[in-house]
Structure 1
Amino acid sequence: MTAGGRFVAGGDGSTPTTWEAALDDLEGRVVEAEATLARGRAEEIAAWGNRSADWVPPSGLGPLPDDLRERAARLLQHQLAVAERIVERITQSQRQRDVAARMSYGPSRPVATFFDQAI
């Protein structure tokens, strides 16, 4: 799946043999990231943000064909938008944790006690 810290296309063990298959693989990863965002589980979103490997196309496909350049450009824009949303969610989650850590859940000062008794 990885080679030198990089996600290789077809990370499931199969290597795409065409640019169409390589773009399908990358698009699948972007859709998977969007699904993770939709579930809203902070730990899963953070895991996407902590990935240190980059996706690289498989070797041996040659240059990207002209008829796929538009699709690749749209996919890149989609990928960048999803990555931005992941960063925003991670930042938002960190801020919420920081606020929660500063909050005190116990009484911050003594609570008055009253007795119903005649003097």
Structure 2
Amino acid sequence: MDEWRSAWTTALDDLEADVTRIEELLRTDQFHRDTPTIDPWTPPEGLGPFPLDLRPRADRILARQLAAAEGVARAMAVNRKQAALTNRIELFDSGAARPSYLDQAI
């Protein structure tokens, strides 16, 4: 029985480490510079039923994961807006029609 609980504790440790990494990326400008590579978490084989005494910890991890996912979505939206603005600046595109000139002196 102790081995079963230990396996679940290790699985929760892995989940918590993943969400901690994303939270740290969101707190720093690294998230804006680098696209983090995240391996999707899969539960280890043969864990068996979830120990009820670990439920509060699992609920806290889930809440952090949901908040981190919201933070990532917000960061992606800001990134898209910044990219669109940068494109307009680089292209000098104000949205208005641009005048064109044709030099026929040659």
TM-score by length of 2: 0.71
Output aligned runs, 1:90-101, within 5 Å. 90-101=76-87
Aligned length: 87
More displaced stretch, 32-41 vs 88-97? 32-41
| 1:9 aligned partner | none
Name the structure with the higher helix share.
2
**Whole-Å separation in 2 of the counterparts to 1:29 and 1:47:** 11
Match of residue 8, structure 2, among 9, 19, 26: 19
Letter in 2 for 1:91: A
Structure 2 stretches lacking a partner, 5+ long: 1-5, 100-106
Question: Residue by residue, what CA displacement relative to the aligned partner does 1:75-117 show, whole Å, maximum 9, x if unpaired?
Answer: 1111110011011101101111101111229xx89xxxxxxxx
* Cα RMSD (Å): 2.2
Letter in 2 for 1:61: L
TM-score by length of 1: 0.64
Name the structure with the higher strand share.
1
Does the alignment pair 1:38 with 2:30? no
Q: Percent identity?
A: 37
Does the alignment pair 1:69 with 2:55? yes
**Secondary structure of 1:55's match?**
coil
User: Which portions of structure 1, spanning 4 or more consecutive aligned residues, are displaced by more than 3 angstroms?
Assistant: none
